[in-house]
């Protein structure tokens, strides 16, 4: 089982030197991947807009910019998004950005994508929120076309491309992994039809994880795909633990290991560690964060590998 770390944007406060030290340190510890969380902007609540999941002033650095910075600092660790809100961007530009990142990182990119949940973010970027699902499907097809073909042509409902070239091609070509996030039936069907992997999570009202995995496998078979060809990742989160365990989950490597082993038994081949809750538990400097991440890795890696 691979272990990825979700970069904590709050660490921008440590300045470029601190961010560089953290990124290099995550690679040196031995983690398999560095992932970037994505939101461009956050909307304040208004009379017509509910309160967002996160504080509107939560600091979130731009995903591709940070990954490019990380690509220059590292040599081994893989780089990814977890997840990029794809339909609020034009797929032609995303194809170029990801191709460039894959080129400059010598083929270390993985693209995690999702449709997002925040209408105000789409509005701020001048994109339509209501059509995000159908545009997501077209975006994924367009990305792979740009990464593979010399002559790119596409005629869809939302996007039309007529005899366009995009060079250079990424080292991984059209096989840059595209993993899809989401918890509901449309997302699972999209994974089964178009995804190399599923980036799972738990949201209120979701069916049990075991049920969703079974559904995903069934959808894959309906699309004539081998269910075992679709990889699975989930963030290490408390799950159905008691309140006392929930309070100390991210500060207890043993609880992180227990959850990772549960996910591995369900068929997950990658787990991610969100550093923001670790920061909130008091590991607020780069050195403190790296010391704790090293402790977590020493606990998890031998048991998972």
The tokens 């939560």 sit on which residue? Answer: 58
Select from 129, 126, 121, 158 the least CA-distant residue to 141: 158
230, 218 contact by CB (below 8 A): no
Select from 63, 59, 64, 69 the least CA-distant residue to 27: 69
**Is residue 125's pLDDT more than 90?**
yes
Select from 88, 13, 93, 94 the least CA-distant residue to 43: 88
Angle at 159 between CA 157 and CA 161, to 5 degrees: 125
> How far, in Å, CA of 46 to CA of 48, rounded?
5
Cis peptide before 168 (omega within 30 of 0): yes
pLDDT (0 to 100) of residue 235: 95
* Encoded tokens for 208: 């049990």
> How far, in Å, CA of 276 to CA of 284, rounded?
10
**Is residue 178's pLDDT more than 80?**
yes
Percent of the chain with pLDDT over 70: 99
pLDDT (0 to 100) of residue 268: 98
pLDDT (0 to 100) of residue 122: 97
pLDDT (0 to 100) of residue 203: 83
> How far, in Å, CA of 9 to CA of 72, rounded?
18
pLDDT tens per residue across span 201-232: 988 788 999 999 999 999 999 999 999 999 99
| DSSP characters over 244-271 | HHHHHGGG-HHHHHHHHHHHHHHT--EE
Cis peptide before 83 (omega within 30 of 0): yes
36, 63 contact by CB (below 8 A): yes
Tell me how far CA of residue 9 lies from CA of 66, 175, 253, in angstroms. Answer: 9, 29, 22
The overall average pLDDT reported for the chain is 96
**Is residue 241's pLDDT more than 80?**
no
**Is residue 110's pLDDT more than 90?**
yes
> Cα-atom radius of gyration of the chain, to the nearest Å?
19
227, 217 contact by CB (below 8 A): yes
């Amino acid at each position: 089982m691979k272990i990825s770390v979700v970069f904590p944007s709050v660490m921008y406060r440590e300045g470029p030197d601190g961010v560089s030290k953290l990124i290099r340190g995550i690679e040196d510890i031995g983690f398999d991947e560095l992932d970037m969380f994505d939101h461009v902007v956050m909307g304040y609540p208004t009379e017509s807009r509910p309160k967002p999941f996160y504080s509107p002033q939560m600091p979130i650095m731009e995903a591709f910019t940070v990954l490019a910075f990380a690509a220059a600092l590292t040599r081994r660790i893989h780089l990814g998004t977890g997840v990029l809100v794809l339909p609020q961007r034009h797929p032609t530009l995303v194809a170029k950005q990801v191709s460039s990142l894959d080129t400059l990182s010598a083929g270390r990119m993985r693209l995690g994508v999702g449709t997002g949940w925040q209408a105000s973010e789409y509005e701020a970027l001048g994109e339509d929120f209501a059509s995000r699902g159908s545009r997501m499907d077209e975006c994924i097809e367009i990305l792979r076309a740009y990464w593979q073909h010399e002559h790119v042509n596409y005629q869809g409902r939302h996007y039309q491309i007529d005899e366009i070239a995009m060079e250079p091609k990424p080292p991984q070509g059209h096989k840059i992994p595209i993993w899809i996030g989401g918890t509901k039936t449309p997302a699972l069907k999209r994974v089964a039809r178009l995804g190399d992997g599923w980036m799972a999570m738990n949201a209120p009202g979701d069916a049990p994880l075991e049920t969703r995995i079974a559904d995903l496998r069934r959808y894959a078979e309906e699309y004539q795909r081998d269910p075992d060809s679709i990889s699975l990742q989930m963030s290490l989160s408390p799950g159905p633990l008691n309140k006392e365990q929930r309070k100390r989950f991210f500060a207890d490597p043993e609880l992180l290991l227990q959850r990772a082993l549960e996910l591995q038994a369900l068929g997950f081949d990658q787990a991610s560690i969100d550093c923001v809750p670790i920061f909130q538990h008091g590991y607020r400097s780069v050195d403190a964060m790296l010391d704790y991440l090293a402790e977590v890795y020493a606990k998890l890696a031998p048991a998972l590998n």
